[in-house]
């Protein structure tokens, strides 16, 4: 099955700095790569996603890049704010017969220090 590695497990940045979280995956047939943000005690919420036919996608302060050859993708948050503090999960979907589920990374706890 798919194996998703996420790094780092924890990340502290000063407010206004950038944060980068990286994920690698094992199955070259994977074709959908979402990122979720989970605030304490709340449900995971989709913040951005990218599909395998795109190399980069940006939404205001958040961007995701995908390198299919190297099988890794990254989340970039610029101008971080205290409200960005949360646990971020990457995920991977692999196409295949009946294979619609996502495999999640172990998560990165981001702390933005005011």
Which position among 23, 107, 110, 112 is part of the footprint of another protein (CB under 8 A)? 107
Distance CA(90)–CA(103), nearest Å, equals 9
Q: How far is the CB of 16 from another protein (least distance, A)?
A: 28
Which position among 2, 11, 71, 104 is part of the footprint of another protein (CB under 8 A)? 104
Distance CA(106)–CA(92), nearest Å, equals 12
| Torsion from C-alpha of 37, 104, 3, 108, nearest 10 degrees | 30
Binding residues for another protein (CB under 8 A): 1, 31-32, 34, 42-46, 49, 89, 91, 93, 95, 98, 100-107
């Amino acid at each position: 099955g798919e194996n998703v590695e996420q790094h780092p497990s924890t990340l502290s940045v000063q407010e206004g700095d950038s944060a980068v979280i990286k994920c690698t995956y094992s199955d070259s047939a994977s074709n959908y790569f979402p990122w979720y943000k989970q605030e304490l005690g709340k449900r995971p919420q989709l913040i951005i996603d990218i599909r395998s036919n795109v190399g980069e996608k940006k939404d205001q302060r958040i961007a995701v890049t995908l390198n299919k050859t190297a099988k890794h993708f990254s989340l970039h948050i610029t101008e971080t704010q205290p409200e960005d503090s949360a646990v971020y999960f990457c995920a991977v979907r692999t196409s295949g017969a009946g294979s619609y589920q996502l495999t999640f990374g172990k998560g990165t706890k981001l702390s933005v220090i005011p």
